[in-house]
């Protein structure tokens, strides 16, 4: 996860023109021209402006300043969005996220004393992606929890046995069809609950892996050859994004009715 960059030169040109120091100089040139009733200050200001706009956007120092400013703005917006999202989680999950975020902050504090500034910025973005992934899994866990049926499976099995018994003893065709549909619906629901239980266990494992990735990273940070960005990317690649499990949940809910086994 690299720094936020403004790739086209025209973007740097825009920032060079809109820089407050540049605008102050332009405004000053206009004021001096008006005060002295002479076009000379305005002409000097215009020449200086053209010179600045032709050189400034290409200066590494200026580009670095723009990149750092955009980087800080991007991170600030991300933190605001995360704070808003935390309000939609349960207190338990929100606190779980805050613990993870605290560990991420400790890693950055430790990295600042060991790594160059550009690598620290890359690590910031990597840890932001890790925290976002953790949030995605928390929200998916909240969704799966809402879909889970608290009724013990043994109760459903008892209901299924009763329906099958009723089907066997019923002789009226319409009633048999109704019972058959109820059996198929209950079997589908039971199948979904089993699949959702598997997803829930998978979710719990991935959340634990994300949590464990930070202490592991912190312990390896003391090693001279530790590449923080590579470590973070490797952890995220191993765990994977939440979207894959979200698709699995959608498929579980959309699965066709099962054939009633009688």
Burial label for 91, CB within 10 Å (0-12, 13-18, 19+), is exposed
pLDDT band at residue 7 using 50, 70 and 90 as cut-offs: very low
Structure-token match 């912190």, residue found: 218
What pLDDT band is residue 10 in, cutting at 50, 70 and 90? very low
Both tokens assigned to 22: 């540049």
Please determine, for residue 133, whether its predicted confidence score (pLDDT) is greater than 50: yes
pLDDT average, residue stretch 237-250: 92
Report the distance separating Cα 251 and Cα 128, nearest Å: 29
pLDDT at 59 over 50: yes
Q: In terms of pLDDT, which residue wins out, 72 or 101?
A: 101
Query: How many whole angstroms from its chain centre is CA 100?
Result: 14
Buried b (16+ CB within 10 A) or exposed e, 29-38: beeebeeeee
Rounded Cα distance, 191 and 199, in Å: 13
- Between residues 172 and 93, the one the model is more confident about: 93
Q: What is the pLDDT of residue 77?
A: 92
Between 32 and 222, the higher pLDDT residue: 222
Q: In the numeric block, which tokens belong to residue 233?
A: 């990317």
Identify the residue with better confidence: 237 or 114. 237
Q: Which of 4-8, 118-122, 224-228 comes out lowest in average pLDDT?
A: 4-8
How many Cβ atoms are within 10 Å of 53's Cβ, its own excluded?
15
| Nearest Cα to Cα of residue 156 among 188, 179, 197, 186 | 186
Most confident of 48-52, 103-107, 111-115, 173-177: 103-107
Q: Are 53 and 17 in contact (CB under 8 A)?
A: yes
- How much is the pLDDT for 21? 61
Q: Residue 11 pLDDT > 60, yes or no?
A: yes
pLDDT tens digit string along 190-239?
888 999 999 999 999 999 999 999 988 887 776 666 777 788 888 899 99
pLDDT surpasses 70 at 252? yes
d(CA 73, CA 77): 6
Band (pLDDT 50/70/90 cuts) for residue 8 is very low
- SS3 call for 203: helix
Integer Cα distance of 35 and 29 in angstroms: 10
* Pair 55, 9: CB distance under 8 Å: no
What is the token pair recorded at 185? 């619906």
For 123, the token pair is 């690590």
Query: Minimum mean pLDDT among 57-61, 67-71, 194-198: which range?
Result: 57-61
**Measured at the alpha carbon of residue 245, what is the angle toward residues 240 and 248, in degrees to the nearest 5?**
145
Of 70-74, 145-149, 151-155, 172-176, which gets the smallest average pLDDT? Answer: 151-155
């Amino acid at each position: 996860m690299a720094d936020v960059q403004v790739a086209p030169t025209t973007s740097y040109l825009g920032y060079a023109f809109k820089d407050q120091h540049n605008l102050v100089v332009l405004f000053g040139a206009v004021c001096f021209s008006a005060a002295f009733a002479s076009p000379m200050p305005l002409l000097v200001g215009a020449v200086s402006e053209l010179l600045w706009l032709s050189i400034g956007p290409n200066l590494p120092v200026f580009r670095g300043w723009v990149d750092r400013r955009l980087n800080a703005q991007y991170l600030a917006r991300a933190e605001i969005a995360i704070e808003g999202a935390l309000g939609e989680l349960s207190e338990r999950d929100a606190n779980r996220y805050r613990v993870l975020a605290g560990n991420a902050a400790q890693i950055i504090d430790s990295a600042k004393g060991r790594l160059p500034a550009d690598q620290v910025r890359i690590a910031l973005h990597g840890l932001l992606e890790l925290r976002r992934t953790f949030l995605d899994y928390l929200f998916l866990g909240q969704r799966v929890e809402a879909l889970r049926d608290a009724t013990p499976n043994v109760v459903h099995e008892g209901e299924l046995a009763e329906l099958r018994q009723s089907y066997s003893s019923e002789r009226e065709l319409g009633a048999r069809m109704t019972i058959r549909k109820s059996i198929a619906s209950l079997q589908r629901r039971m199948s979904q609950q089993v699949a959702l239980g598997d997803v829930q266990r998978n979710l719990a494992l991935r959340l634990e892996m994300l949590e464990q990735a930070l202490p592991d990273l912190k312990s390896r940070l003391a090693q001279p050859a530790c590449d923080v960005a590579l470590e973070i990317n490797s952890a995220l690649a191993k765990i994977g994004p939440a979207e894959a499990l979200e698709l699995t949940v959608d498929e579980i809910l959309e699965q066709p009715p099962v054939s009633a086994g009688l």
